[in-house]
Homo-oligomer: A and B are copies of this chain.
Amino acid sequence: MKSFRKTLTQHTPGRVAFVNLTPEVEAAVRESGIREGLCLVNAMHITASVFINDDESGLHQDYAAWLERLAPHDPSPAAYRHNRTGEDNGDAHLKRQVMGREVVVAVTEGRLDFGPWEQIFYGEFDGRRDKRVLVKIIGE
């Protein structure tokens, strides 16, 4: 069994952003030399997500607006108890749970084994600083 590990650093200028990670994850699969296996891609930070969906900017705006309705950004300690710790990102911890922490993707014949529209995204809900995404591939 082979294993491969790499981190990808993200830094988004706004609080909320979506970044297509697919080319970097595909490059990691090639670099790993693994032909058959599983590829885990996860946010290493707890106010960010990794998820798979469509590379369509209107949809990403829909996600941002919908998540804002489900868990509105509000820095006040009245809105989120988490903000009593001095943080202002209580909402981001909730948004991340809807979108998920990680994806596991099959690796088949040396490539990400994807359906026609699947793309891997980093979802940021409390940006403006460096954060990391972990890629771990096992197989042979």
On whether the beta carbons of B103 and A103 are closer than 8 Å, the reply is no
Mark contacts of A34-76 with chain B using CB atoms, 8 A cut-off: 1 yes-contact digit, 0 otherwise. 0011101011111000011110101101110010001100000
Mark contacts of A96-116 with chain B using CB atoms, 8 A cut-off: 1 yes-contact digit, 0 otherwise. 111111111110100001111
Question: What's the minimum C-beta distance from A1 to chain B, rounded to whole angstroms?
Answer: 5
Q: Cα distance A116–B134 when bound, in Å?
A: 12
Q: Cα distance A58–B81 when bound, in Å?
A: 5
Question: What's the minimum C-beta distance from A125 to chain B, rounded to whole angstroms?
Answer: 12
**In the complex, chain B residues whose CB is within 8 Å of the CB of A42:** 104-106
On whether the beta carbons of B114 and A44 are closer than 8 Å, the reply is yes
**In the complex, chain B residues whose CB is within 8 Å of the CB of A43:** 115
Question: What's the minimum C-beta distance from A23 to chain B, rounded to whole angstroms?
Answer: 18
Cβ-defined partner of A97 (8 Å) among B1, B61, B99: B99
Further pairs besides A1-B1, A43-B115, A59-B93: 5, Cβ < 8 Å: A1-B140, A42-B106, A44-B116, A61-B81, A63-B93
Show 19 A/B contacts (Cβ-Cβ < 8 Å), sorted by A.
A1-B37, A3-B36, A3-B140, A38-B136, A40-B106, A42-B105, A45-B116, A46-B54, A56-B85, A58-B80, A58-B85, A58-B90, A59-B82, A62-B82, A63-B93, A97-B100, A106-B134, A106-B136, A108-B136
